[in-house]
């Protein structure tokens, strides 16, 4: 039996993304290979991504990020969507349609083990960057990139995306250094929305 409900989520300091949640029953599926053009996707996530993309595309949407967490008895699957249109938005109705279709497809392919919650939403202002096209759209803007280094180490950079040459990112960090790294090195990256700074009121002039 499938139970679903609509809710609104909020993104601190920015526009509120649309959410659609579904509580579903699923089973375990086999492994799958990393999808081309993606940044270090886990095999299970890659499989879910391949199922979600055509569903989203039919509605003029794209999959920005997929997260699968929790234990075997309580799993949470999050799918973040964005509009393919420059000025487009993702509505609750869009999230609901994708959620209903994804629930059927996931069950048909025996993708997730046990009972799980499916959450489909828009990404909010600090949207994830997963594909080369995502980085291209935010050249000149601020990003946060977590790099996967040899030996299992991680490094996080915060600054402005200066350029993207082929698959090499050039970034000016907040510390003033210029960093270059390939998309293959990116474990996770997000666009950092810049909020307008309110002007500080001037000091009142004192009479002589």
CA distances 204 to 197, 199, 201, 207, Å, are 21, 15, 9, 9
**What is the structure's pLDDT at 202?**
55
Residue (of 27, 26, 7, 8) closest to 16 by Cα position: 8
Residue at which a domain ends, from 86, 121, 156? 121
Q: What is the rounded distance in angstroms from the CA atom of residue 60 to the CA atom of residue 82? A: 9
Task: Give yes or no: residues 117 and 142 share one domain.
Answer: no
Both 26 and 115 in one domain: the answer is yes
Among 87, 121, 155, identify where a domain stops: 121
Output the DSSP codes for 92-139: HHHHHHHHHHHHHHHHHTT-S-EEEEEEEE---SS-B--SHHHHHHTT
Clarify whether residues 101 and 160 are in a common domain: no
Q: How confident is the model at residue 174 (pLDDT cuts 50, 70, 90)?
A: very high
27 and 52 share one domain: yes
CATH number at residue 169: 2.30.30.520
- Domain of 80, in residue numbers: 3-121
In a domain, 16, yes or no: yes
Q: Is residue 176 part of a domain?
A: yes
- Show which of 70, 102, 121 is a domain's final residue: 121
Looking at residue 64, the DSSP 8-state letter turns out to be E
- Among candidates 193, 197, 29, which has minimal Cα distance to 125? 193
Tell me, yes or no, whether 18 and 103 share the same domain.
yes
Measure Cα distances from 41 to 54, 68, 140, 193 in Å.
18, 11, 26, 24
Q: How many domains does the chain have?
A: 2
- Pair 163, 139: CB distance under 8 Å: yes
Q: What is the pLDDT of residues 82-104, one digit of tens each?
A: 887 755 688 889 999 999 999 88
**Residue 200 maps to a domain:** no
| 116 in the same domain as 164 | no
- pLDDT digits 0-9 by tens, 102-150: 988 988 888 877 788 899 988 777 888 888 988 998 999 999 999 998 8
Q: Please indicate, yes or no, whether residues 21 and 111 belong to a single structural domain of this protein.
A: yes
The reported pTM is: 0.64
The tokens for 175 are: 């510390």
The reply to whether 166 and 113 lie within a common domain is no
Residues 149, 84: one domain?
Answer: no
Is 186 domain-assigned?
A: yes
Phi-psi region of 127 (alpha: psi -120 to 50; beta: other; left: phi over 0): beta
């Amino acid at each position: 039996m499938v139970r679903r409900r609509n809710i609104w989520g909020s993104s601190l300091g920015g526009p509120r993304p649309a959410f659609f949640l579904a509580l579903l029953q699923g089973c375990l599926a086999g492994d799958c290979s990393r999808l081309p053009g993606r940044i270090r996707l886990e095999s299970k996530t890659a499989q879910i991504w391949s199922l979600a993309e055509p569903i989203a595309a039919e509605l003029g949407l794209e999959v920005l990020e997929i997260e699968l967490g929790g234990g075997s008895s309580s799993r949470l699957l999050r799918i973040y969507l964005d509009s393919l249109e420059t000025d487009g938005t993702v509505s609750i109705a869009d999230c609901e349609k994708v959620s209903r279709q994804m629930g059927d497809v996931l069950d048909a392919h025996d993708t997730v083990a046990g009972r799980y919650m499916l959450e489909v939403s828009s990404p909010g202002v600090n949207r994830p960057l997963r594909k080369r096209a995502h980085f291209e759209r935010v050249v000149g803007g601020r990003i946060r990139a977590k790099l996967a280094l040899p030996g299992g180490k991680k490094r996080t950079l915060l600054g402005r995306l200066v350029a993207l040459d082929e698959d090499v990112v050039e970034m000016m960090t907040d510390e003033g250094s210029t960093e270059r790294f390939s998309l293959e090195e990116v474990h996770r990256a997000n666009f950092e929305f810049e909020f307008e700074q309110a002007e500080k009121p001037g000091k009142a002039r004192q009479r002589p």
